[in-house]
Amino acid sequence: MTARPETAQSPFDYLIEPGGRLSGRLRVPGDKSISHRCVMLGALARGQTRVSGLLEGEDVLATLAAFRAMGVEAAGPRDGSLLIRGAGLHGLRPPPAALDMGNSGTAMRLMAGILSGQAFDSVLTGDESLSNRPMGRVAEPLAAMGARIETAAGGKPPLRIHGGQRLCGIDYRLPVPSAQVKSALLLAGLYAGGVTCVREPAPTRDHTERMLRGFGYPVQTEGSIISLRGGGALTACAIDVPADISSAAFFLVGAAMTPGSDLVLEHVGVNPTRIGVLNILRAMGAAIEVVNERMIGGEPVADLRVTGSRLHGIDVPQDQVPLAIDEFPALFIAAASAEGRTRLAGAGELRVKESDRISVMAKGLMRLGVDTHETPDGIIIQGGKLGFSRERMEVDSGGDHRVAMAFAMAALRAGGPIRVRDCRNVATSFPGFAALASRAGLAIRAIGPD
């Protein structure tokens, strides 16, 4: 068995010895959603945008490469710092080839909004996972604004976007709560005549709205209605990206479910549209303190202290589902370690993430001996049995970064070692995960796939 560096170029698995606990202070990498947006808005602004704390994960690097291919100059990223020389809203140049968005749904959907407003044609492609994700949810409302977008069968990528169209603002009610669709429409709205208005059925992350305002662009939010008027300009600014609560989630769950743990996660973004994981874990009995809360560049940030306790199963409150949508793989591990049953419903969106997270997590949990029942839009997990087997157990990540990291944390409460197959996509959102987790107390290493 060979030790492997964590790079996406070479496939690798994680092997985690059972037991241990998490302690110390650590800062997880920058927020992925915010990092994408500062590259996009920085590229479209007038002047130089200076970013610190940027996530140098592959998803964000794909967004940056796309803008470089359209003539935007940027220095970095290096140690989280990036200097972008904005081209202005109308300064992008036609890309010489298709733009490859890799594994990133956020990149593809938000770029579709921006590219719909350009004078030139473009094509957006992605990896195998992204090529199977629904794009009709952005292509259809963008077409209603006047964009011309062709998709493959079933609304799948690649997206062929024909430039030179005259866009017009629409009033659109989102059929599912989606920050990506909302953001795609608002970004297209920058290029549209009149007002673009998005109505949300439930609150979703509002980083686009906050950052547009930070770049001096007026955006109105009235209850669940968000609107902007096209034809303005973005002015460059400085952005400090907080640590990603979605990456912190693995450590929150690991520490919360492991007696003796005492961990502080520093400088974590605690935007109210992202803190479902804190609310759900607390409802399960977790001890989490939010300390030193402050505002950094229009986003709330805090340090999170979590200590190990006995968790119990719950019915996940419906209003928390969109606020914790990326954290369910980790939360399912908390549920597996908890006493009693956890029930999640109304989370069908999990089936169209980087993998079908309901199915891939249910299969893995059953491999770990946990009673798990899939439903069309959720899951029922009978907790308390994690750790019965002393055998070495194997689970497959389905190529999904968050599934891989969630199962790695399960080893803290397992009876035997866990091997997680196919972990290369961890680099999309959390480069250096194994090194940081091992510093905190998880007995994890990357090994060849054999």
Ranges within 343-372 binding ligand S3P (CB under 6 A): 349
The two beta strands, 378-382 and 341-344, are: antiparallel
Distances (CA, A) of 15 to 221, 395, 419, 420: 46, 11, 5, 6
* Residue 34 Cβ vs ligand S3P, minimum distance, rounded to whole Å: 8
Q: Which stretch binds ligand S3P (CB under 6 A): 95-103, 118-126, 174-182, 210-218?
A: 174-182
Spatial contact of 285 and 313, defined as CB atoms under 8 Å apart: no
Tokens representing 363 are 């299969």
Catalytic residue among 303, 326, 396, 422: 326
* Residue 343 Cβ vs ligand S3P, minimum distance, rounded to whole Å: 21
Please return the burial class of 272, using the count of CB atoms within 10 Å of its CB with bins 0-12, 13-18 and 19+: exposed
Mark residues 98-137: x for contact with ligand S3P by CB under 6 A, - for none. --------x-------------------------------
Enumerate the β-bridge partners of residue 26. 265
Element containing residue 361 per DSSP (H, E): helix 357-367
Nearer to ligand S3P by Cβ, of 240 and 327: the residue is 327
Cα first-last separation, the chain = 8
- The verdict on 325 binding ligand S3P (CB under 6 A) reads yes
Pick one of 183, 247, 355, 425: the residue that binds ligand S3P (CB under 6 A). 183
Nearer to ligand S3P by Cβ, of 212 and 440: the residue is 212
Q: Which stretch binds ligand S3P (CB under 6 A): 76-84, 177-185, 252-260, 294-302?
A: 177-185
* Residue 185 Cβ vs ligand S3P, minimum distance, rounded to whole Å: 12
Pick one of 35, 165, 180, 261: the residue that binds ligand S3P (CB under 6 A). 180
Query: By Cβ distance, which residue is nearest to ligand S3P?
Result: 33
CA 256 to chain centre: 21
Total residues at interface with ligand S3P (CB under 6 A): 10
Coil, helix or strand for 125? strand
Tell me how far apart the alpha carbons of residues 56 and 69 are, in angstroms, rounded to a whole number: 18
* Residue 326 Cβ vs ligand S3P, minimum distance, rounded to whole Å: 5
Distances (CA, A) of 402 to 39, 99, 209, 328, 368: 23, 24, 26, 9, 17
Nearer to ligand S3P by Cβ, of 121 and 140: the residue is 140
> Phi and psi of 291, rounded to 5°?
-125, 160
Tell me how far apart the alpha carbons of residues 364 and 397 are, in angstroms, rounded to a whole number: 8
Distances (CA, A) of 122 to 92, 115, 119: 12, 7, 10
Q: Which stretch binds ligand S3P (CB under 6 A): 176-184, 215-223, 252-260, 385-393?
A: 176-184
Nearer to ligand S3P by Cβ, of 346 and 417: the residue is 346
- The verdict on 33 binding ligand S3P (CB under 6 A) reads yes
* Residue 137 Cβ vs ligand S3P, minimum distance, rounded to whole Å: 8
Tell me how far apart the alpha carbons of residues 292 and 269 are, in angstroms, rounded to a whole number: 12
Q: Which stretch binds ligand S3P (CB under 6 A): 89-97, 179-187, 257-265, 333-341?
A: 179-187
* Residue 139 Cβ vs ligand S3P, minimum distance, rounded to whole Å: 14
Ranges within 190-219 binding ligand S3P (CB under 6 A): 205
Nearer to ligand S3P by Cβ, of 135 and 336: the residue is 135
Pick one of 326, 327, 400, 422: the residue that binds ligand S3P (CB under 6 A). 326
Spatial contact of 160 and 123, defined as CB atoms under 8 Å apart: yes
Spatial contact of 17 and 447, defined as CB atoms under 8 Å apart: no
* Residue 59 Cβ vs ligand S3P, minimum distance, rounded to whole Å: 9
Tokens representing 157 are 């990528």
Nearer to ligand S3P by Cβ, of 212 and 442: the residue is 212
Nearer to ligand S3P by Cβ, of 277 and 325: the residue is 325
Coil, helix or strand for 193? strand
DSSP state of 3: B
Q: Which ranges constitute the DSSP H helices of 56-192?
A: 58-69, 105-116, 136-144, 179-189
Q: Which stretch binds ligand S3P (CB under 6 A): 87-95, 128-136, 175-183, 236-244?
A: 175-183
Whether 326 sits among the annotated catalytic residues: the reply is yes
* Residue 368 Cβ vs ligand S3P, minimum distance, rounded to whole Å: 25
Distances (CA, A) of 213 to 230, 234, 236: 14, 9, 11
Residues that bind ligand S3P (CB under 6 A): 33, 106, 178-180, 183, 205, 325-326, 349
| Residues with catalytic roles | 326
